[in-house]
Structure formats: structure tokens, C-alpha cells
Amino acid sequence: MPRPFLIILLLVGTTFSFTGCVNTRLVAFYSTDNIQSNQATRVSYLWGIVQPQDIPAQCESKTICKVNAKTNLGYILVSAVTLGIVVPQKIVWDCCPSSETEEKL
């Protein structure tokens, strides 16, 4: 094989070996054991010009403790191949437990 091809192959291999998931987390309330976790995958189109549909939280307590926005190598490749026209992202959110107080006897 020609030497420039090997160098390019080595650079591409090194780049892919160091890539991982991109993860952004927002935590509002973190000290609870009773968490209801939900997830959805949403896709933004045309560099965000077309607004994606809202995700219903479906939390009994009407409060969210933590939100995670994740992407992976597959999503990044889709975004790169489409030049940012299609950008998928996985959203994971945790609902806080209800704050109903127990009645003392």
C-alpha cells in the first residue's frame, strides 16, 4: 500500500477510536431513590429551522429531576453525511417522586 494511504487510514482509525458518546446532563434535584425514568429520540431537521414536536414528560408529580441529552457515533455520522440537515438526539429524563406528605397517626 502507498504510504500516504496508510497514514490516512491510521489517522481515521485513531479518530474513531477516541470518539464516544456526547452526553449533556442537567440535574435539578438529585437526592431521591424513587425515580421514574423516560426516554425518547427526537430528530431536528434543516439545522433546527423545522421545530421538532414537544416531548410530553408524563410525570405524575409534574416535576423533572434530571434531563440527559445524548448522541452516539451513529447519530454523529448521520449528521455529518447530511451536513447537519438531519440531527438525531436521544433525550432521557427522570421524574421526581410526588411530594405527597404521609399522614401521621
pTM value?
0.65
CB 26 within 8 A of CB 66: yes
Total Cβ atoms within 10 A of residue 72: 15
CB 57 within 8 A of CB 64: yes
3-state secondary structure of 4: helix
> Residue 34: is its pLDDT beyond 60?
yes
pLDDT band at 47 (very low <50, low <70, confident <90, very high): confident
Of 29, 11, 16, 6, nearest to 73 (Cα)? 16
Residue 12, pLDDT above cutoff 80? no
Task: Give me the mean pLDDT over the 50-63 stretch.
Answer: 83
Adjacent-strand bridge partners of 11: none
- Mean pLDDT estimate for the chain: 79
* Domain locations in the chain as residue ranges: 21-95
